[in-house]
Amino acid sequence: MSYKELSVMLKILSDPSRLEILDLLSCGELCAADILKYFHFSQPTLSHHMKSLVDSNLVIKRKEGNKQMYQVNHDVLANVSQGLLNINTPSQTCICKDIETGGSIS
């Protein structure tokens, strides 16, 4: 995941309500009505958050009858986690390997 892609994901994840939605969905698939029961905001606000999560592929949406069902896209969330881990851990792919310095990098 590029720095730009990671920064886009982090911007989406920077909203506390979206993090809570992901936490709720980590237990399994839920419909919008069940997610909304947990929050004290309107259905349009939930739709706004869900659109951001779905558009970024952090959440997978499917229709079941007249319900919208949502689940965490664990692969994409794992890629975000790996991107952060790469920044936090020196490795062969670390950007610091590409620079020349007169001293050591701390």
CA distance 101 to 69: 52
Residue 43 inside a domain? The answer is yes
Identify whether 51 is part of a domain.
yes
The per-residue pLDDT for 62 is: 95
pTM for the full model?
0.82
**What pLDDT is recorded for position 90?**
75
**What's residue 103's pLDDT?**
52
- pLDDT at position 91, please? 64
Nearest in space to 6 (alpha carbons), one of 72, 83, 76, 77: 83
Segments in the chain forming alpha helices (H) = 3-13, 16-25, 32-38, 43-55, 74-88
Number of other CB atoms surrounding residue 82 within 10 Å: 12
Q: What is the pLDDT of residue 79?
A: 95
Asked if residues 36 and 46 have their Cβ atoms less than 8 Å apart, the reply is yes
Residue 37 sits in a domain of what CATH number? Answer: 1.10.10.10
The domain tally of the chain equals 1
Phi, psi of 2 (to 5 degrees): -70, 165
With a cut of 70, list the residues of the chain below it in pLDDT: 91-106
Residue 82 lies in a domain: yes
Q: Which domain holds residue 63?
A: 3-98
Q: Determine, yes or no, domain membership for 44.
A: yes
